[in-house]
Amino acid sequence: MNRGGATAGGPYLLTGATGFLGSHVMAGLLKKGEGVVVVGRRAGGESLAERIRRLLEWFGIEHLQERLELHEADFREPRLGLRPDEYELLRRRALPIIHCASDTRFAEKNREAVMAANVGSLAGILDLARGGPARCFHFISSAYAAGSDGAECREIPVHSRNFNNVYEESKALAESAVLAFCRQHGVAHTIIRPAIVYGDARTGRSLKFNALYHPVRSLLQLRDIYLADLGKNRGKKSAACGVRLLKDGRLHLPLRICIPNEGKINLVPVDYFTAATLAILDGPENGAIYHVASRRPAAMAQLTAFSARFLGLSGIEVIHGAAPAAETRNPPEELFDYFIRPYRPYISDRRVFLRENTDRATGAMDPPDFDYDVFRRCMEYAVAADWGRKLFSIPGGQGEKEGKRDKGVER
Ligand SMILES: NC(=O)c1ccc[n+]([C@@H]2O[C@H](COP(=O)([O-])OP(=O)(O)OC[C@H]3O[C@@H](n4cnc5c(N)ncnc54)[C@H](OP(=O)(O)O)[C@@H]3O)[C@@H](O)[C@H]2O)c1
């Protein structure tokens, strides 16, 4: 399909292939028979080739490596740190580009690095897109680039100047820069804006354990602190805040999670993100913005109930409205609040992401319902992967059958 000057089909030039979403896009394209030209960096003493090889193993697609071409780059350098002839050759090949690399940290203390990675390094990547007729520049942005102004977010350029953190702000600035460049140079383009992406809904597998995983892991840490206290210290700390073991084996942990309103958490699994993105790449509409988001976002109360069931906890409540006075909060509440602070804007969100363009591109494909079975699979995988620390040492690749892994933590 070819709409409004945007051409489908690869090979594709991809950035961010060593990350969570980029690696899934890479694997999805390779499985479809497309070629992928990866521009990425070495890290932790490992070359780009070694990092990609490990990811191919994780996906169980080592046999597809001949469809890959790798270019080790440094996005902070002019021409992405590539040799002048290498950069020029890439530019002349007129490949469609998927720019997925991004510094995804939220904290203000990282402002300089986030802005440099997400906005400053754009020039070198965009310049690769100047010229040839086959090019389309696909920018992976974020639904949250919409900012914090309005409740109804349409698939249109960002107008907000109010953002929850530097990451959102940088994605909005990057979108504007991409749009301005592509319009000026006549480059066909799309912007793909995912909501919060978690693991594969069918297998539970994931490469990243932030966002959805963070509150669950925080509750698990709290549970383990108090279980240790009940074991070794005869429950001195526990007694002070009403924590006790119940006869059915669950831990009673009185903890109020205070959120300002009933809002929602917009979650999509990575298998859905990948399928939707591949559908968009198949029929890109020049200039279109796509919200890859859920029509039926989850509520914090549901996520809390799933977490309590998975972790064998009771006593956790979600309260809407003003936070209780500091002096009435117990230590687990203080700690939990501290753990989840960066994610607060996303757990009681009133924003609704309209998705007309995405529906048209994907045949109105919906993400699966976020039910307890999906949640359990994802959390079992997270525990088996030790929240990312043992990611590449879990036995079995993508082909590993469900149920063969160690049992999760459900008590
Ligand atoms: N995950 C989500 O829930 C979500 C939701 C909405 C939008 N998004 C967007 O989706 C894209 C991918 O996100 P992700 O979750 O996959 O992030 P990720 O796992 O953190 O991966 C980020 C990728 O960007 C690369 N990168 C970061 N800083 C870089 C720099 N300074 N120079 C070169 N490469 C750099 C990383 O390379 P290294 O591996 O070398 O660090 C990695 O390949 C981003 O554009 C993000 O804004 C993600």
User: What is residue 402's predicted lDDT score, i.e. its pLDDT?
Assistant: 39
How far, in Å, CA of 24 to CA of 313, rounded?
Answer: 34
Give the number of the atom of ligand 1 that is nearest the alpha carbon of residue 113. Answer: 31
CA distances from 213 to 121, 325, 327, 408 (A): 30, 27, 29, 14
Q: List pLDDT tens digits, range 53-75.
A: 999 999 999 999 999 999 999 99
Does 127 have pLDDT greater than 50?
yes
Please report whether residue 293 resides in a domain: no
238/108 same-domain check? no
148 domain-assigned: yes
> CB of 139 closer than 6 A to ligand 1?
no
In a domain, 203, yes or no: no
**pLDDT tens profile 34-57:** 999 999 999 999 999 999 999 999
- Predicted pLDDT of residue 281: 97
The residues, ordered by sequence, that sit 6+ positions from 288 with a Cβ below 8 Å of its Cβ are 155, 190, 191, 357, 361
One domain for residues 116 and 28: yes
Note the pLDDT of residue 114: 98
In a domain, 49, yes or no: yes
Let me know whether 221 and 176 are in one domain.
no
Does 146 share its domain with 79?
A: yes
State in Å: Cα 179 to ligand 1 middle. 20
Q: Among residues of the chain, what percentage have pLDDT more than 70? A: 93
Q: Which residues pair with 278 in a beta bridge?
A: none
The answer on 231 and 159 residing in a single domain is: no
Determine how β-strand 136-140 pairs with β-strand 97-99.
parallel
Interatomic CA distance for residues 13 and 69, integer angstroms: 9
Answer yes or no: are the C-beta atoms of 211 and 196 closer than 8 Å: yes
- Backbone dihedral angles phi then psi of residue 242, each to the nearest 5 degrees: 75, 20
pLDDT tens, residue by residue, 61-117:
999 999 999 999 999 899 999 999 999 999 999 899 999 999 999 999 999 999 999
> Which residue among 330, 347, 364 closes a domain?
347
Instruction: Give domain status of residue 117, yes or no.
Output: yes
Phi and psi angles of residue 318, each rounded to the nearest 5 degrees, phi first: -105, 130
Q: Residue 403 — pLDDT band, cuts 50, 70, 90?
A: very low
Measured distance CA(411)–CA(402) in Å, rounded:
19
Mean pLDDT of 137-142: 98
The parent domain of residue 317 ranges over: 213-262+299-347
pTM for the model stands at 0.94
Same-domain status, 61 and 136: yes
Same domain, 233 and 324: yes
- Residue 285 located in a structural domain: no
Q: Has residue 1 got a pLDDT over 60?
A: no
Q: What separation in Å is there between the alpha carbon of 353 and the centre of ligand 1?
A: 21
pLDDT exceeding 90 applies to what percent of the chain? 80
User: Using 50, 70 and 90 to split pLDDT, how confident is the model at 303?
Assistant: very high
Q: Is 400 in the pocket of ligand 1 (CB under 6 A)?
A: no
Decide if 120 is inside a domain: yes
Residues 112 and 257 in one domain: no
Q: Please give the pLDDT value at position 407.
A: 39
Q: How far apart are CA 63 and CA 197, in angstroms?
A: 27
Same domain membership, residue 88 and residue 127: yes
106 CA distance to ligand 1 centroid (A)? 12
Q: For the chain, how many structural domains are there in total? A: 2
| Average pLDDT score over residue span 183-211 | 96
Q: Is residue 305 included in any domain, yes or no? A: yes
Q: Is 346 in the pocket of ligand 1 (CB under 6 A)?
A: no
Kindly provide the b/e burial profile for residues 61-89, where b requires at least 16 CB atoms within 10 angstroms of the residue's own CB.
beebeebbebbbbebeeebbbbeeeebee
User: What is the mean pLDDT of the segment spanning 257-283?
Assistant: 94
Residue 5 has a pLDDT of: 59
* Closest ligand 1 atom, residue 207 Cα: 19
**DSSP for residue 67:** G
